[in-house]
Amino acid sequence: MEGPNTVKDGEAGKPTLVQRAVNVLVALVIALPASLALWPFVPVLGLPPVAGIGLERLFVFLIVLSAILLLMRRWPVPFYGAVVLALAVVTIFAFLGRYGLKDVFTDYGQMLGNLRESTEALPKVKELRPFKRAEEVRAAINYTDPVVRSFAVRAATTWFTEEAEQEPDFTLVQCFSIFKVINNGWVYVSDPMDDEYFAKASESVGLLAGDCDDHAVLMAASIKAIGGSVRLVRTTQHIYPELNVGNAEGMKRAAFLIRRVLFPEQARHAALYFHTDADGNHWINLDYTRHYPGGEVMDEKIVGILHV
């Protein structure tokens, strides 16, 4: 016979709704930094991002979260003992003036920002065909033409002049100024129906109009004219320019400038995409379809790359 306080079989030790909520909250707090530590080792599969976060990273986060929840369920006492120990260590460091709760919240806030403020390595480009009509495109990138040079200098000094003066790599900042000038004013106009027309850069400076290859030619010529390093990428249906920002450290610096200094409204929490060549150089997208350097690239197969 069951009394009023009798516990039925299977109910003993069963967590309450509040306990479950606490467990999930603690698991989320721990899973985030653990996932961030693992993300650099996750292979890039080229999956489309969700809210600016790569699916590969979401999968890692869910796996880590599930593992933590499993540990909490199997060994709750050791798990929470470790959590209490960690809090005790933070408390001791706070008393010593080395690291306190304020530092914990600051670092955690930065990690939350890093969920989206990430740089995404794009898959390596393989099996390229010869760049179609390469010599014609090279001839159109007439960056030594006085008209192009004048335009490039004006565009390079239209935006971010104070930032360029304070930045050791001022050419990079000036390249971003050129990007903003061209992309803010560019109007898409199609080629003639019976031909692919490559407008020379000297022709496009007074128009700021044309199709994707005209934009890529003008961007490449303007950047070359002020000492930047640029290349053109041809996909199955598109051509876009990429800017060389240097090695991994250069990419970090470029990401900081884009997000925090030069394009905060457009790219504050955006993922930045880059290709890496055989020499370790990082190349970011400067397409007219994007409002900030390093935006997501077209989802098309790359068939050729033209270094200019």
Residue-wise pLDDT tens digits, 235-248 = 999 999 999 999 98
List pLDDT tens digits, range 188-235: 999 998 888 999 999 999 999 999 999 999 999 999 999 999 999 999
Specify the pLDDT at position 58: 78
Beta bridge partners of 275: 283
CA distance 295 to 271: 7
CA distance 141 to 127: 25
Show the domain range for 145: 134-307
In a domain, 270, yes or no: yes
Beta bridge partners of 121: 274
Tell me how many degrees the CA angle 10-13-18 measures, rounded to the nearest 5.
115
The answer on 151 and 73 residing in a single domain is no
Residue given tokens 């209490």 in the structure block: 84
- Average pLDDT of the chain to the nearest whole number: 83
Average pLDDT score over residue span 285-300: 90
CA distance 199 to 140: 6
In a domain, 281, yes or no: yes
The answer on 182 and 252 residing in a single domain is yes
Per the confidence metrics, is the pTM higher than 0.75?
no
Q: CB neighbours (10 Å) of residue 33?
A: 14
CA distance 211 to 215: 6
The answer on 173 and 43 residing in a single domain is no
The answer on 220 and 175 residing in a single domain is yes
The answer on 47 and 138 residing in a single domain is no
In a domain, 143, yes or no: yes
Among the candidates 89, 116, 143, a domain finishes at 116
Of 307, 266, 257, give the one whose Cα is nearest residue 283. 307
Q: Categorize the per-residue pLDDT at 10 as very low, low, confident or very high, splitting at 50, 70 and 90.
A: very low
Looking at this protein, which amino acid is placed at residue 285? Answer: N
| Phi, psi at 166, each rounded to 5° | -90, -10
In a domain, 12, yes or no: no
Q: Give how many domains the chain has, as a whole number.
A: 2
The answer on 205 and 101 residing in a single domain is no
For the domain that residue 258 is a member of, what is the CATH number? 3.10.620
Average pLDDT score over residue span 260-272: 86
The answer on 290 and 180 residing in a single domain is yes
Q: 34-48, 81-95, 115-129, 200-214 — which is least confidently predicted?
A: 34-48
